[in-house]
Structure 1
Amino acid sequence: MEAEIVQLAASGASALVGLMVNEAWSQVKPRFAALFGRGREADVAEELEETREELVEAAENGDESAARGAQAEWERRLRRALRDPQVATRLQGILDEFAQKRPEQAAGSVHNEISGNARVEGKVVQAHTIHGLSL
């Protein structure tokens, strides 16, 4: 069960951070605020919006580390929240709903994005981490 929680937390955090800089954010933010909120939804919504603003600013400045930091922060919080089985069910529902709204990435499709320059000599090894939802 612990491995499933870790995987769900990673998938959830990845989706959350991806959605923060996407047109669906206004629809998804209240759902995540409620997921984390437990009576403090307004406070959590503010924290989520602060993270979003940091990500937008970082993207404008070419800072890719901000997304990794935000994802790690929200993944830790999700792991704690997922101790409650109802939270896991609600999170999975959000992830499933979002996946259904992305027809441009149908099941079995692959989306690769490469940035920067690299010079490679010798053998090339390509590795991927695949989670339930790829943004």
Structure 2
Amino acid sequence: MTNQEIFDLISRFEDSSLHTLKLSTQDFSIELSRGGAPVSTASAVPSAPAPRPTGGESRPDRNSGPTVKAPLVGTYYAAPAPGQPPFVSVGDRVKKGQPLCLIEAMKMMSEIPAPCDCVIEEVLKADGQLAAFDEPLFRYQPC
């Protein structure tokens, strides 16, 4: 199932009167439920609290400007592999299309590219954190 098909499924679920939806295929499984609706299956995955920006490389005084947002839900990775330096750091000048990070979803790695030539002003996620759909990952200043 492609990311677009998953987004379409979520959108249709939100527009419906259903309280829960569980879809399983040979390759993956997804379960959706509305807030407050009890999930009665024993295999339900507990939801984690929404991640907050970390203080690691971020500068809290910079709270405006364009951001690079997560195009999908998954695990954020700052580097191409464990033990390697991150793709970008605060203050780096990057070119349009240059990889900024990786997001792993369903055992597939997706590179997140720079939207334009820019300077990275703030890194909003810590390595290994869960990234939500449309959640800001980086704050940047176009060049």
TMscore range, shorter length: under 0.3
Q: Which has the higher contact order (CA 8 A, sep 6+)?
A: 1
TM-score, structure 2 normalization: 0.22
Larger radius of gyration: 2
Structure ranking higher in helix proportion: 1
